[in-house]
A = this chain, B = another copy of it.
Amino acid sequence: MRYRCSVCGQEYPLETRQWQCECGGLFEFESGIQFSDEVVQRGVPTLWRYRALLPVHEDRNVVSLGEGFTPLVRSEIYGHEVWFKSEFLGPTGSFKDRGATVLISVLKELGISTVVEDSSGNAAASIAAYCARAGIHARIFVPAHASPAKLAQIAIYGAELVPIEGPRENSAVAAQEAARDAYYASHNYNPLFVEGTKTFAYEIWEQLGCAPDNVVLPVGNGSLFMGAYIGFKDLAEAGLIDNMPRLFGVQAKACAPIYEAFVRGDEDARPVESGKTAAEGIHIARPVRGRVVLRAVGQTDGKMLAVDEAEIRSSQSDLAQQGLFVEPTSAVAVAALQRLAAVLEPGQMTVVGLTGSGLKSD
């Protein structure tokens, strides 16, 4: 098991404290383990049913709060038959718990005692909760202007909050400076986080008994989107599915750097001047993973889409009136279904990821 630079190919051991390659390239993770149907522990009602496929050696290092194997709820909306994957029922209220449980388990195994992270929302809450469970100290760099309710959730898990003035990016810079002395448990840079989110795809395959035709997800930095891509790729390589699902990534128009790059036909996203959006969880003006997200979209014959604020709000309400209350960030994926009328074909199976709880939003 090792990291490999996605740009220059240089290898790093799992124990490294570097969080990106010396060349500036993003790390990828190579587990050397191939997916196999036989190793799935079907009696385990969490994502740790895929224990044999996750990079943790000893059972005592598994840091679990009962995450994963979230419900897949069949429904109809905007004329489409869809399956909603209720990721908002993670222990801290978002899909981020998939990444955090795996990342923090590995860090416990490596003997890490302090981590730093930057986020003002779901990722920070999740890292804080799993660090609390693991007995690891978490220092979270947050924008000073972040919503008090979201900061309160992070703080109650016992994490240390470090408010940073200025735009969101400043918190990342501060965390990266602090990472000289502490482990950077970044949900954006650390590929072990995506090792956790890939179980999203495994579960859909188990729950449907096959791969869906289409998967629709909100995209900010792509930590779930890339997990879905890698997970379905594992299943395809193991010969368990015939075709990759088409992956559709959705952004808020007010902040849509990856969508704009897709429209231009670019290979990577450029930073944007963002406007206001209710979809705070994907309000990422300088995405770190634009290149790999665009590649995954291209390789699966998918699309990037963007929806406006009115669509987000009305989709949040339309979904709640089916009994599913999600935050605006998740509603962007639901809103996109209206724009996919000509793309999704009748009889196709479409999965929509409901990424965060409505109880988190204002």
Classify the secondary structure of A's interface with B.
loop
Q: Which residues of chain A from 291 to 326 have any CB-CB distance to chain B below 8 Å in the complex?
A: 316-317, 320-325
Question: In whole angstroms, how far apart are the Cα atoms of A67 and B156 in the complex?
Answer: 26
Contacting pair B66 A45 (CB below 8 A): no
Question: In whole angstroms, how far apart are the Cα atoms of A72 and B42 in the complex?
Answer: 17
Minimum CB–CB distance from A268 to chain B (whole Å) comes to 36
Among A85-93, A187-195, A241-249, A257-265, the one that faces the other chain is A85-93
Question: In whole angstroms, how far apart are the Cα atoms of A35 and B156 in the complex?
Answer: 41
Contacting pair B129 A65 (CB below 8 A): no
Question: In whole angstroms, how far apart are the Cα atoms of A72 and B130 in the complex?
Answer: 16
Question: Which of B153, B316, B323, B325 is close to A325, meaning CB atoms less than 8 Å apart?
Answer: B153
How many residues of A sit at the interface, in one of the four size bands? 35 or more
Contacting pair A72 B65 (CB below 8 A): no
Knowing A69-B45, A71-B65, the reply to whether A321 touches B359 (Cβ < 8 A) is: no
Contacting pair B65 A325 (CB below 8 A): no
Closest to A63 in B: B323
Contacts of A132 in B (CB 8 A): 320-323
Q: Is A357 an interface residue (CB 8 A)?
A: yes
Contacting pair A157 B66 (CB below 8 A): no
Closest to A158 in B: B321
Q: Is A77 an interface residue (CB 8 A)?
A: no
Give the 9 A-B residue pairs with the shortest CB-CB distance, closest first: A66-B71, A133-B323, A359-B359, A129-B323, A158-B321, A156-B320, A132-B323, A65-B323, A132-B321
